[in-house]
Amino acid sequence: MWNEPYLETCCRAALHRLFLTHGGTRPAGLPDEACLRRLCGMGFAEEVAPGRFEMTGAGAARHASEVLKKSAA
């Protein structure tokens, strides 16, 4: 049974852009800020400094399973 929150296409793309920072952060003020804030609400990202977002462990796991299509080991 599917019990994970649904990610809109735009939010999956924002999650992938966080992944592409390779452990860095992504600034607010870009067109995907609303998605970054939504991802924070789901626990997949966090605002680590005012206007800077980074991926959480849960976000990395969700990215691996949904974007990269890797199964959990």
pLDDT, tens digit (0-9, with 9 covering 90-100), for 10-56? 999 999 999 999 999 999 999 999 999 999 999 999 999 999 999 99
> The pTM is what?
0.87
- CA 28 – CA 1 distance, rounded (Å): 35
Q: What is the pLDDT of residue 21?
A: 94
And the tokens for 2? 């599917």
Q: What is the pLDDT of residue 1?
A: 44
Q: Which residues contact 40 (CB under 8 A, 6 or more apart)?
A: 46, 47, 53
User: Is residue 73 pLDDT above 70, yes or no?
Assistant: no
Q: Where are the alpha helices (DSSP H) in the chain?
A: 9-19, 33-42, 57-62
Q: What is the pLDDT of residue 4?
A: 73
